Structure 1
């Protein structure tokens, strides 16, 4: 199968499944930063940043950090940035959550760039309740499993949990 066909089929399949679950449950199983995560999974399934380990740790750290900054900045009960605009507290929440997420993931050797979008989605108030965050994490797990199964079924290498040590070391040096 050609690379573009893998990308089309795998990406579409993961989004359709997450979207169907979201439609059936009326919950945020489908949110913007799943797109780049899925793209990594289907375009570069053997890259460290695409591994299930980095995906799960990355989004978990992002969700927790984004919510922590919502609380720290007194924004947990506010409307989203789209409704109330940008103020100093929102800038602090966005900048702080992104900086902390990136730094923690660096220390954990769990780089996953889509997590940067996830932490902003939370710190900007687009997802802001604990229930929404748990469901978002379930969406991450769902698309990761779907992509892993898709890659395995089509003979593409995606690790069960983490990339081989050599690839992780090379990615960390970069």
Structure 2
């Protein structure tokens, strides 16, 4: 039991604080991506904003080199997780256990398909809480994630020492 409890103490050192330049780059990238999604939502009268896109911006602008931040993971992860939530909502209804099963299944499917994107893990929960229709898979999920990635590709490559993405498929 002591060994089990000792694992909860941690012990690693705190990661270093990022350089101010990287903070500013991430701030501006997140601003531009959510501004684009919000502006296009207003202009098109289509819902393109999804709460989990905020966390996606943390990934693609703060940690653009990570596998979780690559377009395949962002778009595929959001799509698979939302699809899973919608399937479970349709089959079982909005219950605590169907929400848990949808989330767990989305995790498994993202792992199997190599499209893990941690922010997308919230999508089945969002689906169960908001009870959207099947069009939620296209707007905001698919189109919104494509817009975020388009901004990430254009913006991240303006930065001298960045190359984004690392891979597409």
Contact 1:37 1:114 survives alignment (8 Å): yes
Q: TM-score, normalised by structure 1?
A: 0.79
Off by >2 Å, runs of 4+ in structure 1: 160-163
RMSD: 1.7
TM-fit CA distance, 1:123: 2.4
- What does 1:37-56 align with in structure 2 at a 5 Å threshold? 37-56=56-75
Of the three residues 111, 124, 138, the one matched with 2:116 is: 111
Q: 1:59 to 1:35 in 2, by over 3 A?
A: same
2:48 matches 1:29: yes
User: What is the SS of the residue equivalent to 2:50?
Assistant: coil
Structure 1: 5+ residue stretches without partners: 76-88, 164-174
8 Å CA contact retained: 1:38, 1:144? no
Measured after TM superposition, the shift of residue 109 of structure 1 is: 2.1
The answer for unaligned runs of 5 or more in structure 2 is 1-19
2: CA distance, partners of 1:128 / 1:12: 27
User: Distance between the aligned counterparts of 1:100 and 1:111, measured in 2?
Assistant: 12
Matches within 5 A, 1:19-168: 19-73=38-92, 75=93, 89-124=94-129, 126=130, 128-136=132-140, 137-155=142-160, 156-159=162-165, 161-162=167-168
Conservation of the 8 A alpha-carbon contact between 1:45 and 1:158? yes
1:44–1:127 CA distance, 2 compared to 1 (3 A): farther
Query: For the residues of structure 2 that align with 1:140 and 1:150, how far apart are their CA atoms?
Result: 15
For the 8 Å contact 2:65–2:166, the answer to whether it is kept is no
Judge conservation of contact 2:72–2:115 (CA < 8 Å) in 1.
yes
1:153 match: secondary structure: coil
The 2-side partners of 1:66 and 1:12 are apart by 28
Relative to the length of structure 2, the TM-score reads 0.81
| Count, aligned residues | 148
